[in-house]
Amino acid sequence: MYYLSSIDMCSDYELENELKQFFVRLHHIKQRLSQERATLTLNRTQRKRCRQNILDLEKLERDFYALSYKEDIKHLYRKIHRYVKLDHERLMETFGRETMGRCSLFIAL
């Protein structure tokens, strides 16, 4: 059974813009991880986990820019919706504590 959510009520344009902004924040976090090691609150293990999560999300970013159907944007948004609204600091903390499950929008043949 499928329930309508607030994601279904948003326009594809809004979701696309939010995802683009999210991927920009992701690149800023990646730069901070490589440049500001002394000022970060994450330990070595958390930085490694954060980097791995960012790499996984960069794969999804490539999938996002390869999408041809607008309906797939909502599907991608559902996969990462809990991260999209977080700011830089909370996003980095979350990626440092949690391991994100790998996912893709495309089926490997």
71-94 pLDDT, tens digit per residue, is 788 888 888 888 888 888 898 888
Give CA–CA dist 91/29, Å, rounded. 8
DSSP-derived secondary structure letter, 42:
-
**Residue 13 phi, psi (nearest 5):** -65, -45
Sequence-separated contacts (24+) of 26-35 with Cβ below 8 Å: 26/54, 26/57, 26/58, 26/61, 26/91, 28/88, 29/54, 29/88, 29/91, 29/92, 29/95, 30/54, 32/88, 32/92, 33/92
The full set of domain ranges for the chain reads: 10-97
Residue 29 CA from chain centroid, whole number: 11
Mind listing the pLDDT tens digit for each residue in 5-54? 677 777 888 888 999 999 999 999 998 888 876 667 788 888 889 899 99
Distance (Å) of CA 31 to CA 37, 43, 48, 51, 88: 10, 16, 14, 10, 12
